[in-house]
Structure 1
Amino acid sequence: MSIDWNGLPDEEFRAVFRAWVLDNCPAELRYLRKQRPVYEEVEQWYQALAEKGWLAPVWPREYGGMGLSPAKHMIYVEEWGRLGCPRIPDHGISLTGPLLIHHGSEAQKTEFLPKIISGEHIWCQGYSEPNAGSDLASLRTSAVLDGDAFVVNGQKIWTTLAHCANWIFVLVRTDREAKPQRGISVLLVDMTSPGVEVRTIENLRGEADFCEVFFDNVRVPAHNLVGALNDGWTLAKSVLGHERIFLGSPTRAEYALDRLGKLASDRGAFEDAAFVSRYARLRLDLYDLGSSYERYAKVLRSGGELGADVSVLKIFATELYQRITEEMLTLAQEEARFNDDLLIEGGQIDAMNLFLDARAPAIFGGSNEIQRNILAKAVLGLPS
């Protein structure tokens, strides 16, 4: 008998999910140094979630999901982060799946959704371009209809884990004469198609999380168009609707502050009044972040829509994460130069790894500068 997860009290659902994760997520995969493991590295965890039926929390049950309400989904995400579950290649689950469920044809749902659940299809997202990152409406990758196929030419950049994916959903310009937002469409592209080339981009930690993707006369079947022609901007916004609240989750900062506290205890830093003052400020800011996050979470739990002011949450969370990891390097002193973990009594601290990881969140998902522009225009009513 299937359980109505939404019918359980929140704390009971939290306890059930937490207990199952502790029993089924391999210990060696929890709290990974690598923030973006590839599918082969987390396949065991991916398949365990799929077998349990917990891989796609917000998908309707008829498509293999849990059908979680916003309230239960918030708990799922919170516990996932606090338990150190590894991030799985999730573009198919969190982006492609919802895109097809809400806007795809029945044939597309039948073809693609089961293969996301099984892990046969690993997806990436083709949005940003060299001159169209946060200003996505200026994208130039083109798709021209030629018989029963679109011919795609152009380039995408900062495409997460594209070198490990076999499918990509791409924003393309299908009408050059229309206003920027109105001439965009969404295509589903097989990465093994002739003319697709992927080049990795090494990040500060020496990992290839991001890629460039080039399209040279790539033919894409016309039936791989999602939704209506030239309506891709609307689809793109709907897919990313709740991203900012999850980017504003306090879990990264919570983990980093816990590690800072352990390092400080080991090095005797709590004997230093100046450090205690700085640490107290960080802890109080984390309390404030948690309260702010809960305020927005309540809006989602009640079925409401988030306003533009949620941008403040992403700024607060990412910059607090940076300040905590900077304090960690200050405390580590000359050892801060090491990429390897710092040894402390009873364990080790990944100080440099966390510091480097904290650089990216302020940029991806709409840079913090863009978020400040949103707040200035949409909340404060300031002129452009």
Structure 2
Amino acid sequence: MDLRFTPEENAFREEVRAFFRDNLDPKLREKLVAGRHFTKQELVDWTRTLNRHGWGVPHWPVEYGGTGWDPVRQYIFLEELQAFPAPAPLAFGVNMVGPVIYTFGNEAQKKHFLPRIANLDDWWCQGFSEPGSGSDLASLKTRAVRDGDHYVVNGQKTWTTLAQHADWIFCLVRTDPTAKKQEGISFLLIDMKTPGITVRPIELLDGGHEVNEVFFDDVKVPVENLVGQENKGWDYAKFLLGNERTNIARVGVSKERLRRIRELASIERIGEEPMIRNPRFREKLAAAEIELKALEMTQLRVIAAERTREKGKPDPASSVLKIKGSEIQQMTTELLLDVVGPYALPYVPEPEGEDAPLSNEPPIGPDWAASVAPTYFNWRKVSIYGGSNEIQRQIIAKAILGL
């Protein structure tokens, strides 16, 4: 297999880079390079900039607002967006529920929801995990009982990322408690303003608030918000998770991180020498770069296979990308901890909101140090969400190795 890019593909890469240089606010890019968070409005504004250019949902079919790019150009765009870096469009809408709707939804759902997802008019969150039903997602207990032209939903979801901002949530619910656990699940779209929904924040170790518990108490959901067929939601969830696991590889993110690590290690010193000259550190850095190159080649092979894969059928190789991608992301956070050393120890919370007052205390260590430890701890999650790596190994054993 020839993994080299053609001259046309390299020209496209330059076009993407030029667009980011010309259209992304440099202050927003500085935030991302430094590992700080952007605001909801910054993501909305950037998403609408992409959408006006026709790049809001580049991997969607053309009839729903996509670009018509082949898988290689889609890969180049995503890699450049992550490596620049620029904010990625909200994954819960663009990468998760959007493809489910245009693949399995009815025409009314496509017409209403898809343009709003592309322009981030609706902020979506994901209602999958439950207490006691994490990696064993099919054991979920949230119930939806048909009552005329509505479902009545009762139950709880947890670890619901950014639910505090969400207008809608896509949920897996149990509609047939007598069926086998994978066969009695349906896929519902639920307006977060519906009476009976309560969002409760979960405070993380770094003091941040990005995940939540969501409670449903006799929540009435119109039957028209059912995606596809009743009790077929597990099929749609597997399709969605296959897409999520491929994107979790985040090759461009890791490339940018390793570039940043090299830059900082050339500045920070151990005794009289820059850290980049430390043999043990160089060995760990080289190991991460080799792992990332192997992951990149594997992802390109998966992209090449997309041309012949049956539409709507998940590729089990996405589990390989998920495992290695998450492991490499965690390796990069460990390398940053090595670089920052003891300056990672102080806890310096990031101010919340655009107008939050900044501390008048002097910074402890270099100005980029404060975000290193919170990022390290936060990224322990990447080997868990989207299906834990242990579960992914089981999928590989069954679907790829035939064990």
CA distance in 1, matches of 2:282, 2:95: 40
Would the alpha carbon gap of residues 36 and 260 (structure 1) be closer, same or farther in structure 2, given more than 3 Å must change? Answer: closer
SS at match of 2:381: coil
Equivalent pair of 1:59/1:68 in contact (CA under 8 Å): no
**What corresponds to 1:275 in structure 2?**
281
Equivalent pair of 2:72/2:303 in contact (CA under 8 Å): yes
Would the alpha carbon gap of residues 59 and 296 (structure 1) be closer, same or farther in structure 2, given more than 3 Å must change? Answer: closer
Are positions 1:352 and 2:360 aligned together? no
**What corresponds to 2:239 in structure 1?**
238
Write out aligned runs for 1:15-30 (5 A). 15-30=14-29
SS at match of 2:51: helix
CA distance in 1, matches of 2:68, 2:293: 31
Equivalent pair of 2:80/2:252 in contact (CA under 8 Å): no
Equivalent pair of 1:160/1:211 in contact (CA under 8 Å): yes
CA distance in 2, matches of 1:342, 1:247: 33
**What corresponds to 1:331 in structure 2?**
339
CA distance in 1, matches of 2:19, 2:278: 42
Calculate percent identity across the aligned residue pairs: 42
**What corresponds to 1:3 in structure 2?**
none
Shift of 1:309: 4.0
SS at match of 2:46: helix
**What corresponds to 1:318 in structure 2?**
326
Are positions 1:131 and 2:132 aligned together? yes
Structure 1 residues 60-112: Cα deviation after superposition (integer angstroms, max 9, x where no partner): 33333323332222122111111111134332222222222122122222222
Shift of 1:117: 3.1
Equivalent pair of 1:36/1:87 in contact (CA under 8 Å): no
**TM-score between the two structures when normalised by the length of structure 1:** 0.88
Unpaired runs of 5+ residues, structure 2, are 1-6, 349-362
Shift of 1:139: 0.8
Shift of 1:248: 1.8
Equivalent pair of 2:56/2:89 in contact (CA under 8 Å): no
Structure 1 residues 266-297: Cα deviation after superposition (integer angstroms, max 9, x where no partner): 11123433333333333333333333333323
Q: 2:390 aligns with which of 369, 374, 381?
A: 369
Letter in 2 for 1:244: R
Letter in 1 for 2:326: T
Which range moves more in the overlay, 285-294 or 72-81? 285-294
Shift of 1:147: 1.3
Write out aligned runs for 1:1-384 (5 A). 9-30=8-29, 32=32, 37=38, 39-266=40-267, 267=269, 268-300=274-306, 302-304=307-309, 307-339=315-347, 348=368, 350-382=371-403
Letter in 2 for 1:89: L
Equivalent pair of 2:326/2:382 in contact (CA under 8 Å): yes
CA distance in 1, matches of 2:92, 2:281: 41
Which range moves more in the overlay, 224-233 or 110-119? 110-119
Would the alpha carbon gap of residues 16 and 276 (structure 1) be closer, same or farther in structure 2, given more than 3 Å must change? Answer: closer
Letter in 2 for 1:173: R
Would the alpha carbon gap of residues 279 and 102 (structure 1) be closer, same or farther in structure 2, given more than 3 Å must change? Answer: closer
Q: When the two structures are aligned, how many residues end up with a matched partner?
A: 373
Letter in 1 for 2:275: A
Letter in 2 for 1:359: R
Structure 1 residues 344-376: Cα deviation after superposition (integer angstroms, max 9, x where no partner): 6xx846532442343221111111121122233
Equivalent pair of 1:70/1:303 in contact (CA under 8 Å): no
CA distance in 1, matches of 2:157, 2:185: 15
Unpaired runs of 5+ residues, structure 1, are 1-7
CA distance in 1, matches of 2:144, 2:215: 13
